[in-house]
Amino acid sequence: MDNQISEHFYSFLDKTKYVLYITCTAYFLILLFIISPFKFTGFFDYIIKFIIITLLSFALLRNYNSLKHLYKIPGIFNNPNLSKIKTYFILNIFYTLLIGLLAIYVLYIIFF
């Protein structure tokens, strides 16, 4: 890899590391307060769900911003030598969609 490609790729890897930490925290809160038998009612339930939605939204934003670093790599879709980076790009798009769907689901269970 040349310098420009490695710079964008390592920036992508650094930013997705923080996305992992944020989403793991949100997953832990989902397991602890939404799926588990420890159900809370009232105001505390809404606060926990708001925190989960905030964490997932922040992870979605960070993941999208890290995805832009991969998109800046010239010839990412044309160069066969960059097939691993293209795979990271496609998997990151899929993961971004999953985080978004999970945030929508948590929003749905707040109101219904």
pLDDT at 41 over 90: no
Domain boundaries, the chain: 3-111
> Distance between CA 49 and CA 53 in Å, rounded?
6
Question: What's the pTM value of the predicted model, to 2 decimals?
Answer: 0.88
Contacts for 8 with CB less than 8 Å, ≥ 6 apart? 69, 70, 72, 73
CA distances from 14 to 8, 37, 59 (A): 10, 36, 14
Helix then strand count (H, E) for the chain reads 3, 0
pLDDT digits (tens, 9 = 90+) for 63-111: 999 998 888 888 888 989 999 999 999 999 999 999 999 999 999 988 8
Tokens in use for 3?
Answer: 């310098």
Sign of CA dihedral 32, 64, 103, 88: negative
User: What's the pLDDT at 109?
Assistant: 87
Burial 33-46 (b: 16+ CB within 10 A, else e): bbeeeeeeeeeeee
